[in-house]
Structure 1
Amino acid sequence: MDGQSCPCGRGEVIESCCGRYLSGSSTPPTAEALMRSRFAAFAVGDEEYLLATWHPDTRPTSLTVDPQTRWLHLSIVDVVDGSPFHSSGVVEFVAVYRDADGRGELHERSVFERVDGRWFYASGVHR
């Protein structure tokens, strides 16, 4: 991953962007930062990070990231709350991917909750 652009779309190299969250050296300070880091985790196939950042009340027992799916681009559509001063937040996004069926989009409005100062993905509604 050295010198590689971060998949989240911020335009930074992954090490100074979402890579610090994926490595565990830092935690995302906002719901949007967690959303971006989870997109990056899908893009690099980091199932462990995805499970660790899923709210304990809604977390599945396992998760498999399809290695044939390439996550290409993330656009943030809307952010409601989710700052370091909130206990919950909503991030609406469109994630563009390519798989065996061609190019597709995942449009979701995700709910995030902060537990003991740490953000977690709680649930999402597909649009």
Structure 2
Amino acid sequence: MSWQMFNATATVVRPAWQADRYGDQIPDWSAAERRELSGLCIQPSAQVLVANEQITADGRDVRMTHWRVYTALGTDADVLATDRIEWEGRTFEVVGEVARWPHPLTGQVHHIEFTIERVQG
């Protein structure tokens, strides 16, 4: 049996956008587009091992955990900083921009990397 590093599958959830009462665009998660993304490697970041815990002003105990997502060599993926990721029954927010690493010889996308975060509490 061979071990496969890029064996995870997740769902990318992209919101529809609508104007709020001030004319600003806000995400509409009830009308979100969903599509499967496979061939991923999802690994805990150092922050998962030491979850960031905070007590809020209203006394809630909030815990934030982070994971790092990688695509396989030569794989680009349509993932944006405004998307959510569903994986193993949990929902995560994409944190920051999605990094598209160029191949050193061809200049095309070598792989992409991004961080996802789950907030509880």
Under TM normalisation by the shorter chain, which class is it? 0.3 to 0.5
Q: TM-score, normalised by structure 2?
A: 0.33
Q: Per residue, is there more helix in 1 or in 2?
A: 1
Q: TM-score, normalised by structure 1?
A: 0.32
**Greater Rg, structure 1 or structure 2?**
2
Higher relative contact order structure (alpha carbons within 8 Å, sequence separation ≥ 6): 2
